Every structure is written in C-alpha cells, then in structure tokens.
Amino acid sequence: MVGLALSRPRHLEPLNALRHPIAGSSNGWFVWRGQAIPREDDNFFAPLHVEHLHEYAPELGPYLALPPGWGVVLAPGYEDVWYDETLLDV
C-alpha cells in the first residue's frame, strides 16, 4: 500500500513522493501533487494498493524500486531525486 493524497487533482504539478521505512502493509511511499502537505489534515493520505498507483501517478513507476530514504519531485521537464536519511527516522 502507498499513502496517496486523493484530494489533490491528478493534473496538479509537481508530483511529490517520499519513501519512509516499510511498516505493516505500507511500502513506505507517500505521494501527493502540488506544494506542501497541509499539517492540519491528518487524513491527507489515503491507502491505495500499489497496483492502482499507475492510474494516479504513472510517471512515478520507474522510481518505485528506490529504497526507503529517497524522495522524488517530478514536473514536465523537471526531475529531482535525492536521498534524505531523516526519512528513515521513525
């Protein structure tokens, strides 16, 4: 399962994704479109089976094999992929 911000429109840019450690049925990926995650919304991310992620974020497919600790920002003509060990802090 991935955490996906279903409330954000599919056309909104950029696409953001962070991979935290695997926990329970979650593979650690949290994905949203647009700018910052609203801190006051505890229900911002909804669980989604990874098999359905291509319907919401097909451009993320090539990055899903990145291990925990990695982040991705994608927009037309823009790609940023980085490692941040603070994502591993639980």
The domain ranges of the chain are 2-88
Per-residue three-class SS string for 1-50: CEEECCCCCCCCCCEEEEECCCECCECCEEEEECCCCCCCCCCCCEEECH
State residue 66 phi and psi, 5-degree precision: -60, 140
69: part of which helix (H) or strand (E)?
none
Residue 37: predicted pLDDT:
85
Per-residue pLDDT of the chain (90 residues; tens, 9 = 90+): 999 999 899 889 999 999 999 999 999 999 999 988 887 787 899 999 999 999 999 999 999 999 999 999 999 999 999 999 999 997
Please, which residues bridge with residue 71 across strands?
18, 82
Position 41 scores a pLDDT of 81
